[in-house]
Amino acid sequence: MDSSQAAVMRVVCEQHTAALWRCALLLTGDRGRAKEVVTETLRRAGQHPEIADYSDGSARAWLFTVARDVILDERGNT
């Protein structure tokens, strides 16, 4: 990731991490697991810096979908 992509991802994180964490906490019921879900979601977002070009609502929807998928993937693998 180059410096411009990193800067974009910082903005995405600043705008959406708190809401993403609340959603993950609601879905998991566990603070530690919610943190892991957010971390993995943001890692995946780092692989798709184009989400920074989405509208706020679309970027948030993308992040929430990824978070849900992370949770569902874990449940399917346990």
Q: Is the pLDDT assigned to residue 78 strictly greater than 60?
A: no
Local confidence band at 77 (pLDDT 50, 70, 90 cut-offs) = low
15-19, 48-52, 73-77: which is most confident: 15-19
| H-assigned helices in 1-78 | 3-28, 31-46, 56-76
Domain limits, the chain: 3-76
Pick the CATH number of 3-76 from 1.20.120, 1.10.3470, 3.30.300, 1.10.1740: 1.10.1740
pTM above 0.85, yes or no: no
More confident residue, 53 or 21: 21
Check: CB of residue 37 under 8 Å from CB of residue 70. yes
33-65 confidence digits (pLDDT tens) = 999 999 999 999 888 878 877 877 888 999 999
